[in-house]
Amino acid sequence: MVGKKKIILVVDDASTNLQIVYNTLNKEFDVRLAKSGSIALIELSRTVPDLILLDIEMPRISGFDVLKSIQDNPKLRSIPVVFLTSHAEMNTVMTALQQKGVKDYIVKPFEPEDLRGRVHKALGIK
């Protein structure tokens, strides 16, 4: 790949999920991992990623709370966010997709090829 790899911040409280996403995307992207919403917000104060893959259900700070912090920060609000979560209920999906900045909603477990394709779409990569 020519040039710098695009940075993807993956936020999930489950180490297994972080590892699966990392293994799926790390050859093509610079994948950064955050095991909580708090760690994600610290990472976002240091680095502005090209895309955020965000779990909804996390202790202390939910994915919706992290998204609100992103949207409230002018430096971060243009970063596309994709929810990557086990919540498959239509009500949650619709609520999530109506949030500003949410590009997509992926339900876990996912197929690696589907994740790669949706990441490419969110980043505008053909």
Assign residue 96 a region (left: φ > 0; alpha: ψ between -120 and 50; beta: otherwise): alpha
Over residues 59-94, the pLDDT tens digits come to 999 999 999 999 999 999 999 999 999 989 998 888
Report yes or no on 24 lying in a domain. yes
> What pLDDT sits at residue 2?
58
Helix axes 112-123, 15-25, angle to 10 degrees: 70
Structural domain contains residue 100: yes
Cis peptide before 109 (omega within 30 of 0): yes
- What is the span of the domain harbouring residue 35? 7-123
Backbone angles phi, psi at 17, to 5 degrees: -65, -40
How is residue 61 written in tokens? 């700070």
- Rounded mean pLDDT of 21-48? 97
Residue 1 lies in a domain: no
Please give the model's pTM, rounded to 2 decimal places. Answer: 0.94
Model pLDDT, residue 35 = 98
| Domain CATH for 56 | 3.40.50.2300
pLDDT tens for 37-49 read 999 999 999 999 9
Residue reference for tokens 């990557």: 84
